[in-house]
Structure 1
Amino acid sequence: MGTTAVILGGGYAGVMAANRLAGSGRPGLDVVLVTPEPRFVERIRLHEYTAGTCADATVDFDSILHPGVCRISGRAERILSGERTVHLTGGAEAGYDYLVYAVGSAAGTAPDGALRIEQLDGAAAARRELAALPAGARVAVVGGGLTAVETAAEAAGSYAHIRVSLHSAGPIVPRLGARTRRSVEKSLRRAGVEVHSGTPVRADEDMHASLGADVVLWCAGFGVPGLAAASGLPVDDDGRLRVDPGLRVRGQDRIYGAGDAAVIDEPLYDYLRMCCAAALPMGADAAGNILRALDGEAGVRHDSGFRGLCISLGRSDGAVQFLSADDSPTRFHLHGRTAAVQKEIICRMTLRWIRGEAKRSGAYTWPTGPQAGRATTAGPVPMTRS
């Protein structure tokens, strides 16, 4: 009798998990990817797409998925863990033996009149708005994270006839070292971006009037789908699925979580943030532990870390902050055209890593995290079969 592994979500974590499972060549293992998106969205390029410097931020799923993966177009509405079934939109169902919850992050709420660009439809709407602006129009970008900074720089570089401002309640990209942050702020101003850090923007005000802007791009944080909570699975205060260090839901030996919509509920992993660099290793490890469970072996603790943070500041400028494994900044950084090239290399390599996993399961590797030395003491996470 065969085994079915269902992956919910066609983003970085979900596709990586699907490829690792399908590429393993395990006899009798069927891999099903459920996603509402018709094409894979390169979310790390949505700021480019918004500003019109990238013609298309999507690629065909067929170009990155292992041919053995069965893709279902749909959105999960409820997970019935007791029945090992997922209810999909339109009344369809998908039964599973193992499930990977990788539904990713969603655009958070935004004030009336403001646009969000964290999803493709929002980025497309913002792209149309920016392209239609007349000379002298003003664009306000709200937020201090990577999405906000990169969008502001990209828009200013792409549309020299408009005025772009960046509004952040605190320092921009807080995880940067002080020297790197100063260099990023200089680059933004050199690109024509008015930087207003330490200036909170009230969401209950008229955004256009209070910011003096014709277009407001709201880039202040992510949300996550409510699927896990609606399904009675354990979630944190932000609605992210709680998993153990083996990426398995406690008390659910058949459900694993990976990517932005999952959080490892152990303090040692507090350094992991919602990003592509964390999603890919989590997806690979979730799949790896399913394969170990199929072999009757114990799963392993997730172990991933950071090495650098690449920031795009337009087509010919950028910054690279070198990081310790726990995401804290070191004193080393790159700036300028060299950093911009490095950022582009990383973006291109992301698809290569995914495609490489489709060709050979286990091909993708990643940097270890700060908890690596404690893994032996903590011991592996036991997995059971039933």
Structure 2
Amino acid sequence: MTTTVIGAGYAGVMAANRLAASGEGVTVVTPAPWFVERIRLHAVAGGTRPTARVALSELLHPDVTLVTDTVARIGDVLELASGATLTYDTAIYAVGSGGRRGAATGGDDDWDATGEHGVGPDAPDGTGGDEAERDTTGGPGAGTSGAAADAGRPGTGTTVHSVSDEASALALRASLAHRPEAPVTVVGAGLTGVELAGTLRASGRRVRLVTASEPVRRGPRAQLASLVRAGVDVEVRRWSAGGESASTDHAERSRGGARPGPVVDRVGAATPPTDRGDAPAPTARTARSGEDRVEPADPDAIVVDATGFAYPTLAADSGLPTDALGRLLVDASLTVPGRPRILGAGDAVRIDAPGYGHLRPACATALPMGAHAADVILARAQGRPVPVFGLGYVLQCVDLGDGRGHIQLVHSDDTERQLAVTGRAGGMVKEAVCRMTLRWLTQEGRRPGSYRWAAPPRSRSGAA
């Protein structure tokens, strides 16, 4: 029996290695012959790391067949953008997430096809796309167009950058190199925005981090406080009682200076508060729509949208069940209902069952999902009951730049514990975890089943 894995990110490589090392036939379809460490892209964009690429030949089990192409449609066979088709016994949908439409990517197309995903929404990306052919050296600014270097400059067309995929990160790095004195406005204070702001500030750049709401959890509040101490301007954008745009800095908010009322879900546009009176998170439409523009207070600023990711349209185009964001819907065994030959793992998949609301998009989620998808296929082949997926978390790691980090210990349901490791020690732990992700992938190719993860918040043992 042969399993075809669509995508070569964290979930895809883990699934492929676990199966191949167990003696199963495996084919991986991905647009380029390299793996992209998504957790390193903020450092690539900031110029502190030359590349986030790792050759797949260094990660994949030697018996895995690698096909450098893009899947255009999933049916009884896999239709590839090159015009070829692939037969499969079982397929694992592990395409991951990518840059939103409208973000600067360094080319005409706005979807990342640089090795983490086995799919793009349009046929031009199917052979690897322009982005996949550029920057083979990883050098600063290599392979990006002049338009990309100017992206973020008012009046030049594309004005919003991203670091949600490799092409976008490289375009931002080129723009930063082209305009070394320009300040940067980062919109969104999630993990991506915080890590990018810290990295850029550590390199001496003037950075303004804009968030639509005051963080509630201790960890994010501590992270923002650390950025403020490093010199990052952190603002919550609100609307005053008179309806005019207003903002308060972190110090003023800590004194209770922020007034309640509507907040902005992107800089320059207001959204009413929720019924509970708290600030709503940026909407999926805001994060994905190319028509939404993030306007900096400083017209010379380079703008980065760190409010979220987008998902490929492959599942919907193939007639598979999806949610409103385009994520493939699977059951508790990670199998598509009514389509037992197709499983899903990673960011572009949502488990449509009770008890999984604590899952977050992260490599800490993608790796166990990839391993479990492989376990389901092995269980079927061996006539064993199909296991139900369960995942608990242990910690959340954040890079704050200049060798500093914040490691928040969490309960299995991802709620915070009292303990956190910060400063240089936190930075060392963060780097160790980043290196371990690659080690877990390669070790699985040598010793299948060696990768394990924490138990879920409540027992989900049994068969699906």
8 Å Cα contact 2:294/2:305 also seen in 1: no
* Cα distance change on mapping 1:213 and 1:193 into 2, 3 Å: farther
Contact 1:51 1:151 in 2 (8 A): yes
Query: Match for residue 8 of structure 1?
Result: 6
Aligned residue in 1 for 2:185: 140
2:392 corresponds to 1:353 = no
Q: Match for 2:315 among 200, 223, 228?
A: 228
- Counterparts of 1:41 and 1:333 in 2: how far apart (Å)? 28
8 Å CA contact retained: 2:97, 2:347: yes
Residue in structure 2 matching 1:130, options 176, 182, 188? 176
Which string of whole-angstrom CA distances, capped at 9 and with x for unpartnered residues, describes residues 80-138 of structure 1? Answer: 0xx2x111111011110001000001112347410111110110010111122233x21
Q: Structure 1 residues 64, 205: CA separation in 2 closer, same or farther (over 3 Å shift)?
A: closer
Mapping 1:218-257, distance limit 5 Å:
218-257=305-344
- Check if 1:291 corresponds to 2:337: no
Give a deviation string over 1:326-384, Cα, whole Å, max 9, x none: 1111222121111111100000000000010011111111111113x2x24xx311xxx
State yes or no: 1:31 paired with 2:26.
yes
Query: 2: CA distance between counterparts of 1:364 and 1:171?
Result: 37
Deviations 1:135-191 (A, max 9, x none): 3x2110111210011001101112x1x31110111235x6xx32x333212210122
Query: Does 1:73 find its partner at 2:68?
Result: yes
2:228 corresponds to:
189
Residue identity over aligned pairs, in percent, reads: 42
Amino acid at match of 2:160: A
1:104: which partner in 2? 96
Distance 1:107 1:258 in 2: 19
Q: What is the distance in 2 between the residues matched to 1:327 and 1:211?
A: 37
Aligned pairs for 1:212-223 (under 5 A) are 212-223=299-310
The equivalent of 2:50 in structure 1 is 55
- Does residue 119 of structure 2 align to residue 121 of structure 1? no
Give matches, 1:256-275, under 5 Å. 256-275=343-362
Match of 2:87 among 95, 98, 101: 95
> What is residue 384 of structure 1 aligned with on the other side?
none
* Runs of at least 5 residues in structure 1 that lack an aligned partner in the other structure: 382-386
**Contact 1:103–1:261 (8 Å) recurs in 2:** yes
- Matched-pair contact (CA < 8 Å) for 1:110–1:116: no
TM-score (norm 1): 0.90
Provide structure 2 residue ranges, at least 5 long, that are not aligned to the other structure.
104-157, 239-263, 270-285
1:198 offset after TM fit, Å? 4.7
Code of the residue aligned with 2:207 in structure 1: it is V
Q: How many residues are treated as equivalent by the alignment?
A: 362
2:260 corresponds in structure 1 to: none
Q: Secondary structure at the match of 1:320?
A: strand
Q: Provide closer, same or farther for how the CA distance between residues 206 and 363 of structure 1 changes in structure 2, counting only shifts above 3 A.
A: closer
Question: Aligned residue for 1:330?
Answer: 417
1:368 aligns with 2:414: no
Report what 1:171 is aligned to.
Answer: 214
1:155 aligned residue? 200
CA distance in 2, matches of 1:369, 1:54: 35
Superposed CA deviations along residues 4-39 of structure 1, whole A, max 9, x for unmatched, are 1100001000000000000002xxx32000011331
**Structure 1: which amino acid aligns with 2:163?**
I
Q: Counterparts of 1:187 and 1:110 in 2: how far apart (Å)?
A: 31
